[in-house]
Amino acid sequence: MHDQRLDTVAFEACESWLGTDHPIIPPDGEGPRRKAALSAFSIDRYAVSVERFSAFVQATGYLTEAERLGWSYVFRGLIDDLNTVDVIGEADRTAWWLGVNGANWRNPAGDGVTAPSDHPVTHISWHDANVFADWAGGRLPKELEWEHAARGGITNIRYPWGDEEPDDETVFCNIWQGRFPELNTCQDGYLGTAPVDAFEPNSAGLYNMAGNVWEWTADRFRVRSLKAAAKKRNADAQRHGERIVKGGSFLCHASYCWRYRIAARSGRPPDSSSSNSGLRLAYSP
């Protein structure tokens, strides 16, 4: 273990809550809002950067799951020319996602271009995130901890910055502006990821708790509902061992993926990785 509590924000024990009574995407299990006891914890001010993850790899020689597998999922819009990458199978030019040989945290588009050191590390699976967390002396946050931190503590807000709605002209974070997936106007200044310290922090001083990259949590994905659709979703999630990811990413837009809200959530298999999957660490006292 290598204690890497570089820059963290501490939260005291209290009664907090999860979810919302006004869900936008009910099938994801955003509601209902429910109270829960929160133990004291601290959390990284920033998502784990490429530079920080590189230090871990240099110290341990760790190979991510994408590196061992030999490929990962890359968003089509990040590839300027399909001739510069080795796409798995027949390249569907209308697909949002492509399996690209050689895509990983070092080479996020699979085109030989190195990831910027101050951007969040991507193509990280849940398994990768846990190995890094163990080395760094931390752990993945619980969903309750993540939401409490994103709100800045005991405040009832929809987004880390408050309740004001972002749109294609009003920028608070790194999400999609324009018409997904054909046109990104990059009003926020970024086509893909942004530096981990980009944009204004929330009231607790945490950066990019919305947009940029999805962040893994420790919790298993489950929808709290007795409806048939929820039971089927839970069965699928259990079969694949899905874990909760929070915060949305640079690909989110209200027209199709309004998941950059604090209560929003999604589930992914623990061995999956992509252009927009990263992490942030939490720590127990």
The pLDDT value recorded for residue 263 is 98
CB-CB contact of 28 with 244 (8 Å): no
| Structural tokens at position 231 | 């039971």
Q: Domains in the chain, start-ordered, CATH in brackets?
A: 8-48+126-283 (3.90.1580.10)
Look at residue 185 and tell me whether its pLDDT is greater than 60.
Answer: yes
Residue 252 to residue 214: CA distance in whole angstroms: 10
The pLDDT value recorded for residue 90 is 66
> Which residues make Cβ contacts (< 8 Å) with residue 173, sequence separation at least 6?
159, 160, 161, 166, 188, 199, 208, 210, 211, 212, 260
Average pLDDT (172-179) is 97
The pLDDT value recorded for residue 114 is 95
Task: Give per-residue pLDDT as tens, 203-258.
Answer: 999 999 999 999 999 999 999 987 899 999 999 999 999 999 999 999 999 998 99
Task: Give per-residue pLDDT as tens, 79-119.
Answer: 988 888 999 976 665 688 999 999 999 999 999 999 999 99
Task: Give per-residue pLDDT as tens, 9-67.
Answer: 999 999 999 999 999 999 999 999 999 999 999 999 999 999 999 999 999 999 999 99
The pLDDT value recorded for residue 116 is 97
Q: Measured on CA atoms in the order 22, 219, 65, 116, is the torsion positive or negative?
A: positive
Inter-CA distances, 87 with 42, 98, 99, 100, Å = 41, 7, 6, 5
Residue 195 to residue 227: CA distance in whole angstroms: 41
Q: Lowest-confidence range among 2-11, 49-58, 265-274?
A: 2-11
The pLDDT value recorded for residue 252 is 97
Average pLDDT (146-151) is 98
Alpha carbon 245 to chain centroid, angstroms: 6
